[in-house]
Amino acid sequence: MFTRADPFAAEEAVNAALPTEAPDTLAEMGEVLLDICRSAAVAKGVTLPSRQVVYMTQIPADCEQVAAVFSGWTPFPVPEGPTICLPFRWQAGFSVLITRCTPAVQKAKAPPSPEKMLEAAKIASRDSEVLLELVNRLNEIGSDVGITAMAPSGGFQTTELTVTLMSVGSL
- The pLDDT of residue 15 is 47
Per DSSP, the three-state class of 139 is coil
Domain spanning 22-166 has what CATH number?
3.30.2000
Closest CA to 171 of 2, 61, 29, 5: 29
CB atoms within 10 A of CB 137: 14
Q: Rounded distance, CA 26 to CA 88, Å?
A: 14
Q: Which residues face 149 on adjacent strands?
A: 159
Show the low-confidence residues of the chain (pLDDT under 50). 10-11, 14-15, 17-19
Indicate left, alpha or beta for 34 from its phi (over 0: left) and psi (-120 to 50: alpha): alpha
Residue 139 confidence (pLDDT): 86
Amino acid at 69: V
User: In sequence order, which residues have a C-beta less than 8 Å from that of residue 54 and are 6 or more positions away?
Assistant: 27, 30, 31, 33, 34, 67, 68, 69, 70
pLDDT confidence of residue 118: 96
Q: Where are the domains of the chain?
A: 22-166
Q: What is the pLDDT of residues 133-170, one digit of tens each?
A: 999 999 888 778 999 999 998 899 999 999 988 776 67
pLDDT of residue 11: 45
